[in-house]
Copies of this chain bind each other. A is one copy, B any other.
Amino acid sequence: MPCEGDHASGRSAYGARRMTTQRRVIAQAVDETRGAFTIDELASRVRRMDRTTGTATVYRAVAHLEESGWVERVGERGGSALYARCGAEEHHHHLVCTGCGRIEPAACPLDAGLAEEAERAGFLLTDHEVTLYGLCAACQTETRRG
Contact = CB atoms under 8 A, between A and B. Distances in A.
Contacts of A129: 129-131, 133
Q: For the complex formed by this chain, how many copies does it contain in all?
A: 2
B126 A133 contact: yes
A136 B95 CA distance: 29
B97 A123 contact: yes
Interface residues on A, range: 20 to 34
Interface centre among A106, A109, A126, A131 (most CB of B within 10 A): A109
B117 A126 contact: no
A127 B135 CA distance: 10
Interface of A: 95, 97-98, 104, 106-107, 109-111, 113-114, 117-118, 121-137, 140
